[in-house]
Amino acid sequence: MSVVCVVGTQWGDEGKGKIVDLLADRADYVVRFQGGDNAGHSVVNDLGDFGLHLVPEGIFRENVINVLGPGTVINPDALLKEIDELQAEVPSLDFEAGLRIAERAHVIMPYHVALDGALETSRGAMVQGSTRRGIGPVYSDKAARSGVRIGDLLDSDYLRGYLPHIVEANNHLLESVYGLEPVDFDALIEKCREWGEALRPYVVDTFPMIQGALAADKNVLLVGQLGIMRDLDWGHYPYVTSSTPTAAGACVSLGIAPNQMGAVIGVVKAFTSSVGEGPFPTEQNNEIGDTLRTKGQEFGGDARWKRRCGWLDLVAVKHAVAINGPAGLALTKIDMLDGFDPVMFGKAYELNGTTFDTVPDTRILQAVEPVYDSVAGWDDDTGGVQIWDDLPANARRYVERVEEITGVPVSIVGTGRHRDHAIIRNLPEGW
């Protein structure tokens, strides 16, 4: 049995899509374990250049089963649109054979999307940077035991009995609190029926499927969305997502016991970017940040914002390392640092004479100053390099400093957007 779990170690957008696409060549299953269509995972391979929101990256490999796990939240319209668009772009993709959706995954309802937008607008100066896709409200309803699950969509009679008080409560919020249009109950039931029919071929109980795969010694690749700084408990709350993008979160979401979890790979971008609000100690609100953003095309999958950019923050990465226990790191986008001199990285924080080696709570984090270290830069073009010794000595030194400070080997170095633009140094056993 080999379970490999890929997680983000920063603020998200670390390049997980590319790493998962690369690792999926050995996978029998690729499984998303949290989040929804607020994700934007970029994949560039011989079939094209894709921005995936919900569909797992293994869809491009034959014989891989791609799973949206019970901990994910699904807007059926968004998923069906994504399937249609991918199918139009690559007609050979076989969704009926290659996609499975957990019947326990929660449905993002139209009132969740409406409430998300209204709530974010009402925050005024305390805006959190929500993607307004209903993610917060759907997870709130899940925790409040008022959610609708994908399996429910297959049974209109059940929904007719279950939904009235839930729709009533949400309509009350929409109308009375935010002055918005209520949702029409009958139209919603009809919408749910249509969604159920469209999704029926993909819906399964993922529990026996995944446990069966583990028992049969299959390779299962688990994929987190976002990164540690957006974790509901361990990120910079409240500028976080409403789920748990850690290896432990994968266990909870998928019903995998901790002792079934294999190696974790932490994805680290060679610098830092953040979409939306919240503290960001190593942010470079200057020419360096602008260069990182334009060179690195840090404008978000289809988010409205340009990403804020800054130097690599190894305190955040160490935080992710402590919480996820990765066997290896995938350091992406080192090619984007070509031409910088020196190349800086944050290795601690300081506030009023106190040094922090770990990420403090948000109200302290927003006041800290980073303690920087650096390596000398390099001018050579590292784009597309596939061999370790072909990297300039200073770029290798940078990778080694990341290893020294985090205590974790860098298993993969990313040198370009394409799947093949990577240096593979060592992969988890059995992979």
**Could you list the active site residues?**
13, 41
Q: What does each C-alpha distance from 87 to 22, 94, 98, 327 come to in angstroms?
A: 21, 8, 12, 36
Binding pattern for the stretch 335-364 against ligand GDP, x by CB under 6 A and - elsewhere: xx----------------------------
User: Closer CB to ligand GDP, residue 182 or residue 377?
Assistant: 377
- Cα→Cα distances 216→30, 32, 74, 99, 285, Å: 16, 20, 29, 19, 51
Q: 3-state DSSP call for residue 289?
A: helix
Q: How far is the CB of 348 from ligand GDP (least distance, A)?
A: 25
What's the token pair of residue 386?
């596939």
State the minimum distance, in angstroms, from the CB of residue 274 to ligand GDP.
12
Stretch binding ligand GDP (CB under 6 A), from 36-44, 139-147, 173-181, 184-192: 36-44
Rank residues 319 and 418 by Cβ distance to ligand GDP and give the closer one: 418
Listed residue (205, 213, 206) closest to 3, CA to CA: 213
Size of the site for ligand GDP (CB under 6 A): 22
Q: Choose the binding region for ligand GDP from 140-148, 194-202, 247-255, 332-340 (rule: CB under 6 A).
A: 332-340
Q: Does 196 engage in binding with ligand GDP (CB under 6 A)?
A: no
Residue nearest to ligand GDP as judged by C-beta position? 414
Spatial distance between the Cα atoms of 356 and 303, rounded to a whole number of angstroms: 32
Q: Does 333 bind ligand GDP (CB under 6 A)?
A: yes
Residues 9, 415, 423, 431: which binds ligand GDP (CB under 6 A)?
A: 415
Sole binder of ligand GDP in the list 279, 360, 370, 416 (CB under 6 A): 416
Q: How far is the CB of 39 from ligand GDP (least distance, A)?
A: 6
Element housing 329 (H / E):
strand 328-332
One of 137, 346, 414, 428 touching ligand GDP (CB under 6 A): 414
Give the position of tokens 């350091």. 331
Residue 36 sits in the site that holds ligand GDP (CB under 6 A): no
CB atoms within 10 A of CB 114: 21
What is the rounded CA–CA span in Å between residue 237 and residue 431?
Answer: 35
Rounded to a whole number of angstroms, the minimum distance from the CB of residue 35 to ligand GDP is: 10
Identified binder of ligand GDP from the candidate list 3, 5, 14, 266, rule CB under 6 A:
14
Cis peptide before 409 (omega within 30 of 0): no
Dihedrals φ, ψ of 77, to 5°?
-60, -45
How far apart (Å, rounded) are the C-alpha atoms in residues 126 and 6? 32
CB of 137 to ligand GDP, least distance (A): 22
Among 9, 16, 256, 365, binds ligand GDP (CB under 6 A): 16
CB of 196 to ligand GDP, least distance (A): 30
Residue from the set 4, 7, 13, 251 that interacts with ligand GDP by CB under 6 A:
13
In what helix (H) or strand (E) does residue 15 lie, and over which residues does it extend?
none
Q: Which residues contact 184 (CB under 8 A, 6 or more apart)?
A: none
The DSSP string of 158-213 is: HHHHHSHHHHHHHHHIIIIIT--PPPPHHHHHHHHHHHHHHHGGGEE-HHHHHHHH
Closest to 323 measured CA to CA, from 230, 254, 409: 230
- Nearest residue to 336 via CA among 393, 295, 286, 369: 295
Q: Does 281 bind ligand GDP (CB under 6 A)?
A: no
Only segment of 67-75, 162-170, 338-346, 412-420 that touches ligand GDP (CB under 6 A): 412-420
Among 219, 274, 332, 406, binds ligand GDP (CB under 6 A): 332
Q: With contacts defined by CB under 6 A, name the span among 84-92, 212-220, 353-361, 411-419 that binds ligand GDP.
A: 411-419
CA distances from 83 to 30, 52, 105 (A): 16, 10, 18
Rg for the chain, CA atoms, rounded:
22
By the rule CB under 6 A, 17 interacts with ligand GDP:
yes
Query: Which residue lies nearer to ligand GDP by CB, 266 or 346?
Result: 266
The mark string for 285-314 relative to ligand GDP (x by CB under 6 A, - otherwise) is ------------x---x-------------
For ligand GDP, the binding residues (CB under 6 A) are: 8, 12-18, 40-42, 44, 297, 301, 332-333, 335-336, 414-417
